[in-house]
Amino acid sequence: MTDRRRVVVVTGGGGGIGAAIAESIARRGAFVVTVDPMVSVDGSERLPATDDTTAGRIVAAGGAARASNTSVTDEAAVRALFGDLAAEFGALDAVVNVAGISRPTGFAKGSREDWRNVLDVHLNGYRNVLGAALPLMASAGRGHILGVTSGSGWRAADAGAYGCAKRAVASLTWQLGRHAPPGVVVNAVSPIAATRMVAAALGGGVPAKGATTGGLSLGSMPAPEHLGPLGAHLVDGTFDACRGRVLFAGGSEVAVIDEPRLIEVVRRDDVPAPAALIEAATTIALAPAQAGQVSRGGSNARFGSIFDEAPADDLPAPLTRVCAVAADRADVAAAVSTALRARGVTCRTVESPAELGDADAVVVALAGGTRSNSGGWERILAEHDGIVDRIDLDAQWIRAAADLDRAVRVVTVTDANTAGGRSRAQAAAQLARAGRKATGDRVLPFAVSAESADVDAELVAHLVCSPAAADLAGAELVTGAGWFGLRSHPRPIGSISFGGPDVPAWFDDTLREVVAPQ
């Protein structure tokens, strides 16, 4: 490093948390570029110009800053801006991506336009920032990127497109953290503060003291300014206490949010009675683990001789009469339909959500993105091309199923054999978590992350038909080559309480131990 001034970009830096972080970074001596098109909370219209800007306040306080009205959704403009900054100042040292909008969407609610716009800003915007910043930082051998996710992306919240986008942001961060270029640190924060976006989500009102959502007390939310010092610290040139992590930031407290982890795995290959095994495994292992978010293993063996038993003739009567199967691979459609017909279910292959008709179950198994021949971070970004289109398509089927206005089971099987597929699968799981409560148990949504070449048709049939499978609605189910299982939901694994807003000197050392115990 030379003694030149660091250059840091803060998207969404025109107000709220972005402004607070930008001003804190400037107080550390960096040149700050606030990137914000200055639009309304829903992104539909530009706000009137004002003399009171974040960049103006920084300059008035003796710092160095400028403003840009570039939108994170404009990939070419973001690349041009970052490239110009690197050429002008010698490097792009850090980016904080706070940009976001709020539209009224939910599990089975919201127009397609609203879904698309929210996904585009929060998810494609983050990908555009990563795609523009990482090559510059890789070339320089250093840099920091801080994404912004949300508790609505890892708690069981009915946040629709916003929750899907923020879960995919977390997934992309977790994956990139393991493959970022040498010297480059990628993390994300999941902040909570009394911002205009929170107020808009509450109908424009002020959070009532004692009101809660997703386990948070709205009346106890910190002011955005309380998050500024932490955000600035996480992109400081010396910060390396964690990589590829999501940190909940509540002003005076930070918690590490762990990614989904396998907690139950059950052998599937070479089993004489797979349908009976899956039925038993749901009761013995999967449903208890889903309820407690922890394996019940570690004591007496639970499965006995079931892996060697002959096929059973006493599977429970199916709760489904007619199932619509939407699959763009003929072999998947055939396998799922065969397994369902063996249970007495009438199957129809459909190509459009408008064709659901009298179905009381829907299986959606659509192909994922293309594998990239690149390696490392470049592969991860390339395999996220088109992810917004695929999440949007999955959500269209969910909304169409909910519109049937009758009891219906929806099984979304995601091809998770690419980096983007894994993020899409996590978005599907996040959406499914809200389904039962959002529809008063009328819709039972299931999410399966298919991480091998084949789709486990017997597991899909079990979810469509079995009474016991209802306990797996909203679970993060997964299939691999020769096995099926369950992952935990994202959850806090350790917290640091320090009173805030200033970050204590011992913070990094304790954070290292939380993320990687000695």
Domain limits at 311?
Answer: 262-487
pLDDT of residue 368: 82
**Is residue 1 included in any domain, yes or no?**
no
Is 126 annotated as catalytic? no
DSSP H stretches of helix in 405-518: 419-433, 435-438, 457-465, 507-515
Same domain, 446 and 415: yes
What's the rounded Cα separation, in Å, for the pair 142 and 133? Answer: 11
**Does some domain include residue 278?**
yes
Q: Which of 130, 389, 390, 75 is nearest to 244 (CA)?
A: 130
Domain co-membership, 255 together with 267: no
271 and 389 fall within a common domain: yes
pLDDT attached to residue 1: 45
User: Residues 186-210: what's their mean pLDDT?
Assistant: 62
pLDDT of residue 344: 95
Q: How far apart are CA 186 and CA 169, in angstroms?
A: 12
Q: How many angstroms from the chain centroid is the CA of residue 265?
A: 23
Identify the active-site residue in 82, 115, 162, 446.
162
Q: Are residues 139 and 39 part of one domain? A: yes
Instruction: Give yes or no: residues 471 and 505 share one domain.
Output: no
The strand pairing partners of 191, in sequence order, are 249
* One domain, residues 419 and 342: yes
Q: Please return the burial class of 38, using the count of CB atoms within 10 Å of its CB with bins 0-12, 13-18 and 19+.
A: middle
| Cα–Cα dist 407/267, whole Å | 32
What burial class does residue 477 get, using C-beta atoms within 10 Å of its C-beta: 0-12 exposed, 13-18 middle, 19+ buried? buried
Residue 218 has pLDDT above 80, yes or no: no
pLDDT (tens digit per residue) in 426-472: 999 999 999 999 999 999 999 999 999 989 999 999 999 999 999 99
Same-domain pairing of 411 and 452: yes
CA distances from 486 to 61, 369, 477, 508, 510 (A): 52, 23, 5, 33, 31
Instruction: Answer yes or no: is 177 within a domain.
Output: yes
Residue 204 token pair: 């424009």
Question: Mean pLDDT, to the nearest integer, of 311-321?
Answer: 84
169 is a domain residue: yes
Residues 474 and 506 in one domain: no
List the single range of 50-54, 163-167, 325-329, 388-392 with lowest mean pLDDT. 50-54
Number of domains comprising the chain: 2
- Which residues lie closer than 8 Å to 249 by C-beta, 6 or more apart? 189, 190, 191, 192, 227, 230, 231
Residue 2 lies in a domain: no
Compute CA distances 169 → 87, 120, 354, 467, whole Å. 28, 12, 30, 34
For residue 264, pLDDT beyond 60 = yes
Q: What is the CATH number of the domain that holds 495?
A: 3.40.50.720
Residue 70 included in any domain? yes
Residue 309 lies in a domain: yes
**pLDDT higher than 70, residue 39:** no
Q: Residues 445, 381: one domain?
A: yes
Q: Quick one: pLDDT band at residue 211, thresholds 50, 70, 90?
A: very low
In a domain, 422, yes or no: yes
* In a shared domain, residues 285 and 153: no
Q: Mark whether 455 and 506 lie in a shared domain.
A: no
> Which of 505, 488, 484, 487 shows the shortest CA–CA distance to 496?
505
Indicate the range of 51-55, 67-71, 275-279, 437-441 predicted with least confidence: 51-55
Q: What is the pLDDT of residue 143?
A: 98
248 lies in the same domain as 276: no
CATH at residue 307? 3.40.50
Q: Which tokens go with 74?
A: 């404009």
Q: What is the percent of the chain with per-residue pLDDT over 90, rounded to a whole number? A: 83
| Contact status, residue 244 vs residue 175, Cβ threshold 8 Å | yes
